[in-house]
Structure 1
Amino acid sequence: MSFFFSSHWRWGALTAAAIAVTTLAGPVCAQPKAPPKPATHPAAPAPAAPAQVQPATPGQPGVPGTAATGATAPDNGLVQLKPEPSQPDWVKVCGNDPSSNQQICYTTRDFVSDQGQPVLAVAMYDVTGKPEKISRFILPLGLLLSPGIKFNIDQGPSADGKFAICLPNGCFAEGQTNETFINSMKKGTTLNVKFKNQVGNEITFQVPLAGFGKAYDGAPLDPKVLEEQQKKLQEELQKRSDELRSKLQGGSAAATPDQATPATATPKQ
């Protein structure tokens, strides 16, 4: 797997809940192509299973359906995303490619729907000594793959991207950009990521860019710190899951009626 595929799952269980933005249930998988050689990086946790997709609400053609944990696009196809709450800001991570001995850095962040469910991950790659920049995305399952994606900053020109592979966690897409595009991201307000659902309707994820420039130009996060953040996040997720399970079990027990036989009054002699 590439540096992105093998290392980006830093928020494992959160990003893994990829959902379908579609009017039909069920994933569509792309034909995988051989990714570049991986760079050295701490091992990431195994992705969790995706949320179960529910069929869309009938009678609303052209509007993506709502998954069990998902988001619904309005009639204009625009979906405004919010940063994943557990991440304080954009994160920059660097590593060395052993085959070329070049440093590879990516600046990344995860985004969620209004319901707080993860629907998109973005990573902008910078390889030392190369003018080309690579933009990579993790998108929901259930999209049309052949049209690929388009992405632009605010009202600027669009760049094209292609899907590389679909996994149970979502579909990976990438496109080539340059320093001019990165500079636009630093100064811009919104990154628009456009794709088509299974019935061919265009959906646009609107991604806030606040803090991107500071992270991109700043120092990278220590891989050991990143690994520790992963560990703490997984522990927090497990704690929340256990607490929710306990509440549900407690509520179920309280709702169960007392099956004891009522006392019978003893008649007076």
Structure 2
Amino acid sequence: MPRTHVRSSLRLAALAALLAGAAAPALAQQTGTSDPAATPAPAQAPAPAQAPAAEAPAAQAPAAPAAPAPQAQPAPQQQQQQPAGPQPQVVATHGDWSILCLDGKPPCIMRQLGYNGDGREVMELSIRRIPPQQTQQGTVEAVMDVRVPLGVFLREGLSLQIDSSEAQRGQFSICLAEGCLMREPLPNAMVSGLKKGATAKFGFVVPQGQGGQQYEVPISLSGFTAAYNALAAN
């Protein structure tokens, strides 16, 4: 079994919110009182007049927290205004192959996903046409990209066998967070074999016990010719 690879792109967003703390209402200061035995009761009459002055800050305190409320709103609004980059869209389907284009416009690729016995995605195969000036005098008109999960034995590379023909082997180019990628030119002779074939098997080696185990992923060639010709039209 290959190691489970979680495709996800992890994005960390820092949410900054300024909270303006309102000062706590000041406690009413206690004024000094005279000894009731030495001071006549009428002499304490001015004391109640000072009480409202001490309570005035308490009446103003609730207005302070209201100021920060509108300041917390601009951050989400700014994030919503950021334009999204071009997204691949499926514009056509030919058999088991899909044609994907950025925002529905060329350049486009043909793609098929490979799954293991449990129905989990373990491989992505995509093919794109290349400009005429890069075709090596017309002998190579396409490039093939194959992505497999991290953890494969890189030195073993990746094999491709069309039906019962002899397997061809390529080397991985780079490994990123999404997996390990093999990018190889697709000669016209191999394209011809893919058009005539029924199934292509991609093989790579995964860790197993003290060594490695060959792992094969079948890819259907149903609709390959129509999908490849559709790329030429784009």
RMSD: 3.4
Partner of residue 92 from structure 1, selected from 99, 104, 108: 99
Contact 2:88/2:100 (<8 A) preserved = no
Query: What amino acid does structure 1 have at the position aligned with 2:218?
Result: Q
Identity of aligned residues (%): 23
Write out per-residue CA displacement over residues 69-113 of structure 1, whole angstroms, 9 at most, x where no aligned residue. Answer: xxxxxxxxxxxxxxxxx9974123468xxxxxxx86532111223
Query: What amino acid does structure 2 have at the position aligned with 1:125?
Result: R
Q: Secondary structure at the match of 1:182?
A: helix
> Which is strand-richer, 1 or 2?
2
Query: What amino acid does structure 2 have at the position aligned with 1:92?
Result: I
Partner of residue 204 from structure 1, selected from 211, 216, 220: 216
Alignment correspondent of 2:168: 159
Matches within 5 A, 1:109-258: 109-129=112-132, 130=135, 131-132=139-140, 133-198=142-207, 199-218=211-230
User: Unaligned stretches of 5+ in structure 2?
Assistant: 7-84
- The two structures have a TM-score, normalised by structure 1, of 0.44
Alignment correspondent of 1:108: 111
Write out per-residue CA displacement over residues 182-232 of structure 1, whole angstroms, 9 at most, x where no aligned residue. Answer: 11111101111111112222222121211111111126899xxxxxxxxxx
Q: Distance in 2 between matches of 1:111 and 1:174?
A: 17
- The two structures have a TM-score, normalised by structure 2, of 0.50
Q: Secondary structure at the match of 2:152?
A: coil
Contact 1:26/1:142 (<8 A) preserved = no
Q: Secondary structure at the match of 1:213?
A: helix
Write out per-residue CA displacement over residues 224-254 of structure 1, whole angstroms, 9 at most, x where no aligned residue. Answer: xxxxxxxxxxxxxxxxxxxxxxxxxxxxxxx
Write out per-residue CA displacement over residues 46-88 of structure 1, whole angstroms, 9 at most, x where no aligned residue. Answer: xxxxxxxxxxxxxxxxxxxxxxxxxxxxxxxxxxxxxxxx997
Higher relative contact order (CA closer than 8 Å, sequence separation 6+): 1
Aligned residues: 141
Query: What amino acid does structure 2 have at the position aligned with 1:21?
Result: P
User: Unaligned stretches of 5+ in structure 1?
Assistant: 1-19, 28-40, 46-85, 96-102, 223-269
Contact 1:108/1:124 (<8 A) preserved = yes
Alignment correspondent of 1:238: none
Q: CA deviation at 1:123?
A: 1.1
Q: Distance in 2 between matches of 1:135 and 1:173?
A: 8
Query: What amino acid does structure 2 have at the position aligned with 1:213?
Result: T
Q: Distance in 2 between matches of 1:142 and 1:105?
A: 29
- Classify 1:220/1:179 alpha carbon distance in 2 versus 1 (closer, same or farther; 3 Å): closer
Query: What amino acid does structure 1 have at the position aligned with 2:98?
Result: V
- Classify 1:88/1:183 alpha carbon distance in 2 versus 1 (closer, same or farther; 3 Å): closer
- Classify 1:92/1:215 alpha carbon distance in 2 versus 1 (closer, same or farther; 3 Å): same
Q: CA deviation at 1:162?
A: 1.5
Q: Distance in 2 between matches of 1:221 and 1:120?
A: 27
